Amino acid sequence: MLSALLAGCGGEAPKAAGPTSPEITAADLGYRIKELADDKYEGRAPGTPAGEAAAQWIADEFKRVGALPGNPDGTYFQTVEMVAQTVDPATSSLKIAGPAGKAWNLKLGPDAVFITKDQANATVSFENSDLVFVGYGVVAPEANWNDYASVDVKGKTVVMFVNDPGFVTNDETLFNGKAMTYYGRWTYKFEEAARQGATAALIIHEELPAAYGWGVVEGSWTGEQADLVRADAGASRAKLEGWIQLNHATELFKAAGLDIDTMRAAANKPGFKSVPMTGLKASATINQTIRKETSRNVVATVRGTEKPTEHVLLMAHWDHLGKGASDDPAADVINNGAVDNATGAAAILEIAEKLASGPAPQRSVTFVAVTLEESGLLGSAYFGENPLIPLKDIVGGINIDALQPSGLAKDVIVIGAGASQMEDLLATVLAETGRVIRPDQHPENGYFYRSDHISLAKKGVPMLYIDSGIDLVEGGVAAGEAIGKTYTDEAYHKPADEYADDWNLSGMAADITVDYQVVNRLANSTDWPNWNEGNEFKALRDAQRAAP
């Protein structure tokens, strides 16, 4: 374990001169973000030479600024075994046969996006699988909800809405009302479909409940897809997992004698029963290339002087989507991921340099730049399952993901506000400069379940996910919201997410300074923050801390 490594480490890692300072500055951030968003890293795809070169650069930066290796083997890396799969759009197909000879040949990309989790077979296919509408595809015993209760879907293709029933109705008695729960996430829906024995699973994409447009679906889940190596090589998953455009889904419902709006209303009510989509059968062929690779989490530590086996955690993902495809040879196909998440990786490097410059904290501070976030939070999940630090010895942590270059703000946004006592310390730090916490303005989008902190939170570790504020000193809330909307509409998960030398990084530097202050104070205290009463993770943390 890391504690054993630290106990045997004397002194600090040697520190080399470089282009950054020990202070957290806009200039330092610009240097690091620009580097990580450079075309030479080809969008930082895990397992690719260019992507892993970005991870190496981060490790080299940790070493340069004086942070120690965070793995007990004496390196800055935790190896994550992965499989990279790429569906061939030219030879892969998804077809729906309907009544009276009607058929839909759904083109990969504009009509539907589909993948397979089968890690063993280059060709995966099935024929004449009956379609069944399963509402939201949710089994939630604590809510007395089971969309699969009335049907056996073995061998069938399940069709479902995105998000969960509370979103459309805004009924606080349904799940978590408008706020998305884990049941609304696409990852859960595909996992549940597999548990039910479905041959294929299709999510009907709608922009509002998904919180992103079709361009994000197409950009994120076409091209090479990564996953952790699975013991069963994906045999327990459905043969096909995918998304379908709303207009095509509407046509399919109509062909089956159903009205999609009527079905949506029915699916939002307790006691919903799945409905066969009579006369519709799916057939598909997926031809894919499969390669096994390794990617790496980058782990570094600033050793505590008095309680080195107790750790405060800082986390950010270094990976992005890599290169896309285009019929236009002149098109920019590199998804550089400057905001998402060169900013977060740069942030933890800034804080590492500040802490390593001294004075050293009493507790250790460990930095984890995780891989495979864009593939479903896989790098952080691997760290959670294979921690280099005993989880009960992690005092708490902060996750940094996709900071906006929007200038100084009067607030910061806490995703999942009200969850833990970590927020009390954050509020104290902010108040010293007249700033405040703003709760997540869009809980329906499920951001709490869409970033790496959840991999540690669901293991019991109190985690904060702090995002850029929107009440800007210049322009107020309207300006902050406009910047966020423009990024989401024009750059999120697209080649347009690029660094520009004219970025206003003053607000980002201020926010990262707040992160540093929270971490430094916690690392120089004896406090053990917990989840708040009523939080779903509190009992787990209580048991974790009580264990010998």
Residue 425 lies in a domain: yes
**Are 458 and 434 members of one domain?**
yes
Residue 426 lies in a domain: yes
Q: Within a 10 A sphere around the Cβ of 307, how many other Cβ atoms?
A: 16
**Are 13 and 58 members of one domain?**
yes
User: Each residue of 493-514: pLDDT tens digit?
Assistant: 999 999 999 999 999 999 999 9
**Are 275 and 310 members of one domain?**
no
Torsion of CA 479, 480, 482, 487, to 10 degrees: 140
Alpha-carbon gap, residue 12 to 19, rounded angstroms: 20
**Are 271 and 325 members of one domain?**
no
Residue 352 lies in a domain: yes
3-class SS of residue 489 = helix
Q: Within a 10 A sphere around the Cβ of 232, how many other Cβ atoms?
A: 10
For 220, the token pair is 């994120």
Identify the pLDDT of residue 18.
72
Domain-ending residue, one of 228, 256, 290: 290
Domain-ending residue, one of 229, 264, 290: 290
How far out from the chain centre does Cα 168 lie?
A: 24
Is the pLDDT confidence value at 409 over 50?
A: yes
Residue 284 lies in a domain: yes
Residue 44 lies in a domain: yes
**Are 151 and 189 members of one domain?**
yes
Is the pLDDT confidence value at 14 over 70?
A: no
Identify the pLDDT of residue 5.
29
CB–CB of 196/82 below 8 Å? no
- Can you give the CATH number for the domain in which 354 is found? 3.40.630.10
User: Each residue of 471-481: pLDDT tens digit?
Assistant: 999 999 999 99
**Are 243 and 339 members of one domain?**
no
Q: Which residues contact 400 (CB under 8 A, 6 or more apart)?
A: 314, 315, 316, 341, 343, 344, 347, 348, 466, 512, 515
In the structure, what pLDDT confidence band is assigned to residue 8 with cuts at 50, 70 and 90?
very low
Total tally of structural domains belonging to the chain = 2
User: Each residue of 87-143: pLDDT tens digit?
Assistant: 999 999 999 999 999 999 999 999 999 999 999 999 999 999 999 999 999 998 878
3-class SS of residue 85 = strand
Please identify which residue in the block is written with the tokens 């699973």.
201
DSSP alpha helix (H) spans, 469-529: 476-490, 506-523
Encode 332-392 in three state secondary structure.
CCEECCHHHHHHHHHHHHHHHHHHHCCCCCCEEEEEEEECCCCCCCHHHHHHHHCCCCCHH
Burial class (CB in 10 A: 0-12, 13-18, 19+), 141: exposed
* Residue 308 host element (H or E): strand 307-317
Q: Within a 10 A sphere around the Cβ of 432, how many other Cβ atoms?
A: 9
User: Each residue of 59-83: pLDDT tens digit?
Assistant: 999 999 999 999 999 999 999 998 9
CA angle 342, 344, 349 (to 5 degrees): 95
Q: What is the DSSP string of 34-76?
A: HHHTSGGGTT--TTSHHHHHHHHHHHHHHHHHTPEE-STTSSS
CA angle 149, 189, 231 (to 5 degrees): 105
Pick the more confident residue, 251 or 533. Answer: 251
**Are 283 and 394 members of one domain?**
no
Residue 81 lies in a domain: no
Length, in residues, of the chain: 548
Pick the more confident residue, 445 or 379. Answer: 379
**Are 138 and 209 members of one domain?**
yes
For 185, the token pair is 């996430």
Give percent above pLDDT 70 in the chain. Answer: 97
**Are 254 and 313 members of one domain?**
no
User: Each residue of 168-200: pLDDT tens digit?
Assistant: 887 888 887 888 878 898 988 999 999 999 999
Please identify which residue in the block is written with the tokens 């009205």.
259
The residue segments making up the domain with residue 421 are 2-66+303-546
Alpha-carbon gap, residue 508 to 505, rounded angstroms: 5
Closest CA to 314 of 456, 458, 156: 456
Residue 77 lies in a domain: no
Is the pLDDT confidence value at 373 over 90?
A: yes
Please identify which residue in the block is written with the tokens 């990262």.
512
Encode 216-274 in three state secondary structure.
HHHHHHCCEEEEECCCCCCCCCCCEEEEEEHHHHHHHHHHCCCCHHHHHHHHCCCCCCC
Identify the pLDDT of residue 15.
52
User: Each residue of 153-167: pLDDT tens digit?
Assistant: 999 999 999 999 888
| Predicted TM-score of the model (pTM) | 0.78
Is the pLDDT confidence value at 4 over 50?
A: no
Residue 297 lies in a domain: no
